Amino acid sequence: MVRRESPAYKIFRAAFLIFFIAVFLLPIWWMIKTSLIARIYTVVYPPHYLPRPIEFEGYVRVWEHQGIPTYYFNTVFVNVVGAVLALVLGIPAAYAASRFEFRQKDNIMFTILSTRFLPPATALVPIFILFKWVRLVDSKWGLVIAYAGLNVPIVIWVLKSFMDEIPRAMEESYLLDGHSRIKSFFNIIIPLSAPGIAAMFMICNFLTWGEFLIAAVLTTTTSAQTLPVGAAMLEGDIGILWQQIAACGVMAAVPITLIIIFFQRYLVRGFSFGILK
Amino acid sequence: MEAEKSGLAYSAVTQETAVPTRKKKKSKGYLLIWPAFAFVLFFLIIYPFGYNVYQSFFEYSMLTDTSRFVGFGNYIGLFTKIDYLRSLWTGGLIAVVSLAIETVLGLAIAIVLNQKFKGRVVARILLILPLGTIPVINGYMFNVLFFPNASVVDHILNFLGLVHGPIPWLQDPTLARIVIILLDVWQWTSFMIIILLAGLSAIPESSYELARLDNMSKWTTFWRITLPKIKFPLALAMLIRGMDLLKFFDGVFALTKGGPQSATETVSFYIFRTGFRTFNIGFASAASVIVWAIIWVAAFIVITKMFGTSEAKA
């Protein structure tokens, strides 16, 4: 809008933004604050808005006693490997969808997309039974396969939209020079869609990083449990260890927050299957 | 799905016509898409659905590993015992209310963020931060914020003089639903902001020429020019968010465990509880089959309406 803004409107806008920023940040601030105080002060009335005195007890405890380093490693492992697997399966499929015509293409693409809408809870019993049978329950590889399954549809759709933007002429002239399709795929398409692939790798990690339900059902011990599951385990018989859950929350939120800040441009595409840019 | 124009927004992604194809190319396309498609089809659709359909006709016990054929017994059981129907209703209610609030609020914030003012980059980043947090841990944090007799929210409301004394947020069924809705709205309004902001910033300045010449009011400009231009991203964002709300689980698990008196038990939570807490696999499977049927029908109607009739312009 190019029209002049009245001073009254500017004040209204500032108030509006400050109000919503405060509301949006309150739970985040509370998490940070709760992670920094002694356990006796976590739930008191009137509440303490500032962490006084500051205690790192929460972080020390989760780091030393609760197996958090293991949870952290598991989370990174299943997300990174799951994202790589989704890309390995998804890149060729995206290329096919972008460049070739074949029978039932629309129906195949629609079917792939439809999986994104099915609640994981509805597939959990079958997948749990299957994984029990092939010994993938409580294994990091089981989660890798599950997370790849969640991400493949999004990878295919988003990367297809990236590849659609690469001019066909580049590939065609390369093919006319006598190179094979395979060579053009590796020498033209992959390098040109590298930014999209890198962004997709990050988006995949973002989408499954905080996943709780699947991870909670398919894991039973620290050998494969992820951070969200580890945090939920802190709800025990002696009560809920608020400060330690908060400490987990802060540590888990840091990498993912960096991803959303630095990959803002690609979030829209990741959220909308590449339909919106 | 007939492969006419309904092929999900292809027109939106590419404006190109299909390349003339030769027989050889067809097999190549299949070869490349086949591994991913087979994986998705088997692992996410055929196997889970087939297993659920099969298992929904049996009474299977995980503990003793025995199963008994019961015909439609599980389905009849689901519809005669109240809790499954109630979870459908509860989940639907929470989804509709959350989606409405997220859409209106997300649109309002996106419109403001799309204007030019000092510090808007910072404001944008601050307003998408909730997306970086872990849903299940947010559930626990909301537990602290709404803790009985020690609630931060109570303290703020009392300080502002809006209420007097403590509010039984998590003990009262209606209030617990409100807290669950607030949790979802808090975490996911950012999703709406991001998508709608992208839609708004794509509107060229020239579209507003007419509004300036006619001296339209801000309100009229919004209804006549802005809204029609972002209709497609708005519909898409609402579709995705609506479908995701049907999966609502993490917050319920951490915050209310479906309580009080099952007031916040969503469908996902019901299936989780029957399948993995009381080990009633037959019920969980039958419940899943019904949910899939509902989602497929709903998705089919919505998508054909959205992409079949209107020319999508992203």
Q: Which DSSP symbol is given to B19?
A: P
Rounded to a whole number of angstroms, the distance between the first and last alpha carbons of chain B is: 22
Q: Is residue B13 a contact partner of residue A274, using CB atoms and an 8 Å limit?
A: yes
Closest CA of chain B from A154, distance in Å: 11
Per-residue model confidence (pLDDT) at position A113:
87
Residue in A2, A27, A240 closest to B142 by CB: A27
CA A25: distance to chain centroid?
A: 20
Q: Are strands B66-69 and B58-61 parallel, antiparallel or unpaired?
A: antiparallel
Task: Give the residue on A whose Cα is nearest the Cα of B55.
Answer: A126
Token pair belonging to B40: 């998705």
Does residue B5 carry a pLDDT above 90?
Answer: no
Judge whether A263 and A196 are in contact, CB under 8 Å: no
d(CA A53, CA B54): 59
Q: Which of residues 13-72 of B touch A (CB under 8 A)?
A: 13-14, 16, 18-19, 21, 25-26, 28-33, 35-37, 39-41, 43-45, 47-48, 51-52, 55
Residue in A23, A24, A144 to test binding to B, most B beta-carbons within 10 Å: A24
Distance of CA A74 to the CA centre of its chain: 15
Give residue B31's pLDDT band: very low, low, confident or very high (50, 70, 90). Answer: confident
Structural element, H or E, at residue B69: strand B66-69
| Separation of alpha carbons A217 and A130, rounded Å | 13
Q: What is the pLDDT of residue B27?
A: 67
Q: Is the pLDDT of residue B26 over 60?
A: no
Peptide bond into A46 cis (omega under 30): yes
Q: Is B138 left (phi over 0), alpha (psi -120 to 50) or beta?
A: alpha
Residue B59: strand pairing partners: B68
Average of per-residue pLDDT across B277-291: 92
The segments of chain A whose pLDDT lies below 70 read: 1-4, 237
CA atoms within 13 A on the CB side of A70: 12
Q: Is B144 within 8 Å of chain A by CB?
A: yes
State in Å, rounded, how far the first CA of chain A is from the last one: 21
Whole-prediction pTM value? 0.89
> What pLDDT is attached to residue B264?
93
Touching check for B226 and chain A: CB below 8 Å? no
Please identify which residue in the block is written with the tokens 């998490």: A31
Whether B40 sits inside 8 A of A152 (CB atoms) is: yes
Distance from CA of residue B300 to its chain's centroid? 16
Q: Which of B 230-289 lie inside 8 A of A, CB atoms?
A: 233, 236-237, 240, 243, 246-247, 249-250, 253-254, 267-269, 271-272, 275-276, 281, 284-285, 287-288
Q: Which of A102, A120, A227 sits opposite B247 (nearest CB)?
A: A120
Q: Tell me the β-bridge partners of A239.
A: A236
Q: pLDDT digit string (tens) for B244-277?
A: 998 999 999 999 998 788 899 999 999 999 998 8
Give the separation between CA B251 and CA B134, rounded to whole angstroms: 10
The shortest CB-CB distance from A96 to any of B32, B243, B267 is to: B32
A57: closest CA of chain B, how far (Å): 18
- B74 pLDDT band, cuts 50/70/90, is very high
pLDDT in tens, B129-167: 999 999 999 999 999 999 888 888 888 988 898 888 888
